[in-house]
Amino acid sequence: MTQKADKLFTNAIVLTMDGKLNQYDPGTVAVKGDSIIAVGFESEIKKEYSADEIIDCGGRVLMPGLVNAHTHVPMTLLRGLADDLRLDVWLMGYMLPVEREFVSPEFVRLGTSLACAEQIRSGVTTFNDMYYFEDDIAQATADAGMRAVCGQSVMKYPAPDAAAFEDSIAYAREFIKKWKGHPLIVPAIAPHAPYSTTPEILRTCADIAREFDVPLHIHISETAFEVENMRNEQGMPVVPYIKKQGVLEAKVIAAHCVHIDVGEIKTLQHVNAGISHNPSSNLKLASGFAPVQKMLDNGLNVGIGTDGPASNNDLDMFEEVRLASFVAKASSNDPTVVPAATALLMATRMGAQALHIGHLTGSLEPGKRADLIIVDTAPVHNSPRFRRDPQNAYAQLVFASKSTDVTDVMVNGKWLMRNHELLTLNETELLKQARELAQKIDTFLIEREQSVLSKLIALGGSMEQESFEVQVKVRVTEPDQLVQKMKRPEVEITAYKHYHQYDDYFLFDDPSQGRLRFREDNLINAKGEVENVRSRLTLLGQQREGEFGHDVLLSRSRFLAPAIHTSRFYREYFKPKQEISVEKNRLRWHIRYKNTEFFINLDEVKAPQMGHFLEIKSRTWSRKDADRKAELASELLALLGVGDAEAVTQDLIEILTTK
Amino acid sequence: MTQKADKLFTNAIVLTMDGKLNQYDPGTVAVKGDSIIAVGFESEIKKEYSADEIIDCGGRVLMPGLVNAHTHVPMTLLRGLADDLRLDVWLMGYMLPVEREFVSPEFVRLGTSLACAEQIRSGVTTFNDMYYFEDDIAQATADAGMRAVCGQSVMKYPAPDAAAFEDSIAYAREFIKKWKGHPLIVPAIAPHAPYSTTPEILRTCADIAREFDVPLHIHISETAFEVENMRNEQGMPVVPYIKKQGVLEAKVIAAHCVHIDVGEIKTLQHVNAGISHNPSSNLKLASGFAPVQKMLDNGLNVGIGTDGPASNNDLDMFEEVRLASFVAKASSNDPTVVPAATALLMATRMGAQALHIGHLTGSLEPGKRADLIIVDTAPVHNSPRFRRDPQNAYAQLVFASKSTDVTDVMVNGKWLMRNHELLTLNETELLKQARELAQKIDTFLIEREQSVLSKLIALGGSMEQESFEVQVKVRVTEPDQLVQKMKRPEVEITAYKHYHQYDDYFLFDDPSQGRLRFREDNLINAKGEVENVRSRLTLLGQQREGEFGHDVLLSRSRFLAPAIHTSRFYREYFKPKQEISVEKNRLRWHIRYKNTEFFINLDEVKAPQMGHFLEIKSRTWSRKDADRKAELASELLALLGVGDAEAVTQDLIEILTTK
């Protein structure tokens, strides 16, 4: 008496990708409900199981669906928007501005559906995402029938779905509660990267990941620049830094890990972190060569990811698997490392383990969900077939198969594609909507293309300042008295400097372009001599985008760049309509008051003659923190005896241009 | 009154890849006979030209066909045979033995037809080949309707189509005469590589290339090992060496150029050499990263090639173009180098220039042959499309298009594929023949898999000796007299050494496995002390494969390897059935006689006691040279007073085992 299955896959070259890399040819897989119940040689399985539906695989390969271990699926909609650029120009000049303008729940649903269509076509059954409005991404993914780990992004910068990181954290909490336990979706929290978060954000995210027992998805050590900065600022590389913030107490999925050393590899292995290696993205952005062989040697679970389609520019895991093998060989100067079977394992069972869902998917084994694909390995670009060595089967798939050779895809026991036809998505309609959106993005960018900001960014090295500026400014009539008051015991002076500042303001026809300030800072020593000179460019927004209380300014559009060229260069490059020069003497204190740091500037504006001004300043990524600092700044004003002085709400350049 | 064309391509995004990278959208191309007669905006061309056949491209991309700048097309039949191996193991363990056994005119025709099918499907219209029986390759290519530069291989080793290089040279001459002037085929001569040829071969090939004004196709500086050897042996890198042999006076196509310096780049540019960069092959074999950006900066024409499908493992130029961009970015740590347009140019116009056929193909320009392809850039993996920047069109093709997006292909004005259907090849029949052949190769290799040679090669470092051994051996009864006679003025002694030799012969069950000799050479100085010890392994063929005259032995199956392990290791590794040890005293002279070099060995076999033997030896790659040396060796015997001595035709081990 045979047992009853729902479906029997027969006449297949079955590559199980299980612990022994068992192959069955001809092999059979039995599926019941959402799960695999038997795998083996056809002659044996057919004796034990019967089913109403028999799927004849026609001698093609039957294998587990591929696991895309790191991506940002909605960015299908930004594919090919900007290429061959340095990371900062690409990110700050194109991706971030477009995302701020366009990313919405509707955007991410459309982009996710497109990504599902592309991934199903290319044999991906599971992906690991990180983006905004992750609730809508999860919904679109579940609607398409795919399996995914969906990580809600948290960053210190304002995001399309959050004005401040506190909003993202609150969103993530609700998102995780809603999706936890879903048959296809594993919700996760995704603090974007160490450099784009704060220790507080990392700790909070780790706490949430542990509270709900969900993965924590994060970018780690993608570029050498990131590691260098971390060493300079924290005196340690990236992995020890995130460990210090408690991140490694969660189920971590670390994307990239290009620039990590053996010590960091061992640390990650010790906490069973999963890695996503993203070869196309690392090559295209010139990020470097990840130490894949070393990670594997040290027992890490290394998956393979496409990264976002805006930096790849597709979601083709067959390409990534091939590149994972190629790049490991080339970068280690050894053609025997990461052989075909290993590369394919990374994209299946090991990839699922890296996402902490190895118990659900990644191999054809009884008890796992029925996530499987059929691949035709007999087209002209993949013929003939050699059978001398079991490795030949993996070599065919890894070195010569194309994603378009995938003919059928099943996830969780449900068909998503039969004979190249998608069953859960309306591709034509999705493509139409994508075309319409692309036209809007084209129009938006063509308009911005000539902006000062984009030109500033095109120079490289620019960076956005903290989102919230706390600033109080008053006219001062008796500066010498104020200098005396700085010696009060409540004010702890941690640094004091004297500058002569020469500012050139560039003004443009279109005031919405903002103003560009070229500042030369001459540092003056105790003898009154110039000790040091530095220059930098600052793009000031035309007006504050909002105010919190009377002292806190939101200045989201403030960009800084080192001015490595002369003011003449910038004059010729930006072609300002008008130019205004200001010369001033600045006494600058870095102080600590009630355990909080502030800058205090006492300015004497000499040319044009405008008298003295006192500024108390601080910047932060957190709105809550900004409110607290504004209160302290008011206290400081009183303490310095200028609590009643005339408040000035304009910048110098505003005063000068509105006269 | 409009001019009459044969065909008008309309409603296309026309990427001309011409000198100005003109794009026309919507654009039109007019074809008459085998050539393009007009290219431009649809509105303009349609006013000037009419045609009976209008091809509506449906808004897809119309562009020049891709140029595969370096390949070995018949090796489609060896695709996936052996992967993830070190170059020597792959080449000497698998490729060369299989090629010796299977490569024939029929083999190369089938392999070429398969390669044409694959390449047409993926948008390649021109390729540059190097293999054996190139006449048959040219015929199969012309039958398929593709354009190709076909290079007949010449090597110092015996080849499937030549027992000695003189045969290859003669073949090449006839081949070039036959095909010169063909509308699709450009015949060429292909000295395989500097390390696999002799100065004489290189000079002769260069002479032929100049005589017939055809390209000379050669592998250059593929590995660091090759360059290191060249520096050690010739005191110069590879490009100066081939220049010295006159190679650069021909129209050179240099494949790989991974390890060349700026001086070599400038030398190659000066002679207008074309380069083929082969990223997949270089990555998969861990050969290194070619200095592509430096070559481009110095004005070299750099094309892109797939290399042979046994080391890639396919002929997909879309992949290669993408990798050319990726690898250049990653290896130079700069994401802006080799942008999409440059990569695509390398695979079209610049590639054709690299093959010295830039006047015929590579761009859509009036006067060039109609070699063009239609590519659908609107499938889900390549949507949406941005139009903000002309670069977007190249980025789509380079970073997200798949070879399977090519829908139509025309070469020389003739359709080879319409809407994915091949028109000149019977794919089903070709695949059937390939399957049958693959089964034979599988059987052959399974039988050889356990051979001593394959195990020897698996150890690495083994190399084949020269093909022809000249050897005369006689018994000597008065060794002291002979030593005196060595002082005759006709014999110029260039070196003299005294060795104690300890040989361990490993014998196997199957005599066709040959015998393995582990030799320890103890160099004895004038005081009779051991000055130096070295060990090496030699695999001796069971019997000579043939004899030329009475003294010349053909010993093709002789392999040498440094013995870096102990004799115990080799005993355990090879598991010989029987082991025989021989100890002897060897006086060894390196002499010059009539301007020809010989080794003379005077052996005293001490254990077992067998008396004295005199050997005169020389090795060469040339049969003609072998004949001449055999004559000189006989003269030497007489000169040394042993012209009448008992000749010995067996090796010591043969004498010992046949006793």
DSSP B171: H
Suggest the residue from A75, A77, A83 to mutate for an interface test with chain B (most B CBs closer than 10 A): A83
Four-residue CA torsion sign, B365, B367, B373, B374: positive
Q: Which of A81, A380, A400 sits opposite B431 (nearest CB)?
A: A380
- Torsion from C-alpha of A321, A260, B326, A78, nearest 10 degrees: 80
Please indicate whether, in this complex, the C-beta atoms of A283 and B329 are within 8 angstroms of each other: yes
Say if residue A545's pLDDT is above 50. Answer: no
Q: What is the pLDDT of residues B430-464, one digit of tens each?
A: 999 999 999 999 998 887 766 777 667 656 556 66
Peptide linkage before B215 cis (omega within 30 of 0):
no
- Identify the band that residue B545 occupies on the pLDDT scale cut at 50, 70 and 90: very low
CB contacts of B114 in chain A (<8 Å) are 380, 383
Superfamily of domain B1-64+362-418: Urease, subunit C, domain 1 (2.30.40.10)
Q: Which of B83, B121, B285 sits opposite A395 (nearest CB)?
A: B83
Q: How far apart are CA B552 and CA B546, in angstroms?
A: 9
Q: What is the pLDDT of residues A520-540, one digit of tens each?
A: 999 999 998 998 888 888 887
Task: Give the pLDDT confidence score for residue A621 in this predicted structure.
Answer: 79
- The closest alpha carbon to B166, from B565, B526, B640, B625, belongs to B625
Q: How far apart are CA A89 and CA B339, in angstroms?
A: 15
Q: How far apart are CA A453 and CA A537, in angstroms?
A: 11
Task: Give the pLDDT confidence score for residue A420 in this predicted structure.
Answer: 98
| Alpha-helical regions (H) of A421-507 | 427-448, 452-458, 479-485
Residue of B nearest to A434 (CA): B384
Asked: is A462-657 a CATH 3.60.130.10 domain? The reply is: no
Cβ under 8 Å to A: B residues 338-377: 339-340
DSSP A465: P
Which residues are CB-contacts of A571 (< 8 A; sequence separation ≥ 6)?
A: A504, A506, A579
Residue of B nearest to A426 (CA): B380
DSSP A247: G
What fold is seen in the domain A66-357? Answer: TIM Barrel (3.20.20)
**Model pTM score:** 0.82
Question: Is A525's Cβ below 8 Å from some Cβ in B?
Answer: no
Whether the CB-CB separation of A351 and A317 falls below 8 Å is answered with no
Question: Is B388's Cβ below 8 Å from some Cβ in A?
Answer: yes
> Facing residues of B29 across strands?
B9, B39
In this prediction, residues B175-191 reach a mean pLDDT of: 98
Domains A1-64+362-418 and A462-657 share a fold: no
Phi, psi of B442 (to 5 degrees): -55, -50
Q: In chain B, what are the domain boundaries?
A: 1-64+362-418, 66-357, 462-657
Q: What is the pLDDT of residues A573-607, one digit of tens each?
A: 677 889 999 999 999 999 999 999 999 999 999 99
Task: Give the pLDDT confidence score for residue B414 in this predicted structure.
Answer: 98
CA within 13 Å, CB half, A416: 33
Please indicate whether, in this complex, the C-beta atoms of A329 and B285 are within 8 angstroms of each other: yes
In this prediction, residues B251-270 reach a mean pLDDT of: 98
Q: What is the pLDDT of residues A163-207, one digit of tens each?
A: 889 999 999 999 999 999 999 999 999 999 999 999 999 999 999
Q: What is the pLDDT of residues B333-385, one digit of tens each?
A: 999 999 999 999 999 999 999 999 999 999 999 999 999 999 999 999 999 99
Say if residue B393's pLDDT is above 90. Answer: yes
Suggest the residue from B84, B386, B444 to mutate for an interface test with chain A (most A CBs closer than 10 A): B84
Say if residue A222's pLDDT is above 80. Answer: yes
Question: Is B387's Cβ below 8 Å from some Cβ in A?
Answer: yes
Cβ under 8 Å to B: A residues 269-328: 280, 282-289, 309, 312-316, 319, 323, 325-327
> How would you classify residue A11: left for phi > 0, otherwise alpha for psi between -120 and 50, otherwise beta?
left
Say if residue A560's pLDDT is above 50. Answer: yes
Q: Give the gap in angstroms from C-alpha A120 to the nearest C-alpha of chain B.
A: 11
Please indicate whether, in this complex, the C-beta atoms of B381 and A446 are within 8 angstroms of each other: no
Whether the CB-CB separation of A620 and A626 falls below 8 Å is answered with yes
Q: Which of A81, A286, A404 sits opposite B386 (nearest CB)?
A: A81
Q: Which of B399, B427, B435 sits opposite A83 (nearest CB)?
A: B399
Say if residue A542's pLDDT is above 70. Answer: no
What single string gives the DSSP state of each residue in B424-478?
S--HHHHHHHHHHHHHHHHHHHHHHTT-HHHHHHHTS--EEPPSEEEEEEEEES-
- Identify the band that residue B537 occupies on the pLDDT scale cut at 50, 70 and 90: confident
> Facing residues of B519 across strands?
B503, B536
Q: How far apart are CA B431 and CA B577, in angstroms?
A: 43
Whether the CB-CB separation of B184 and B424 falls below 8 Å is answered with no
> And the tokens for A333?
């100067």
- The closest alpha carbon to A208, from A229, A185, A191, belongs to A191
Question: Strands B124-131 and A552-554, how do they pair?
Answer: unpaired
Please indicate whether, in this complex, the C-beta atoms of B402 and A77 are within 8 angstroms of each other: no
- The closest alpha carbon to B210, from B175, B234, B176, B159, belongs to B176
Q: How far apart are CA A263 and CA A267, in angstroms?
A: 6
The rounded mean pLDDT for chain B is 91
Suggest the residue from B380, B401, B404, B426 to mutate for an interface test with chain A (most A CBs closer than 10 A): B380
Task: Give the pLDDT confidence score for residue B193 in this predicted structure.
Answer: 96
Please indicate whether, in this complex, the C-beta atoms of A380 and B441 are within 8 angstroms of each other: no
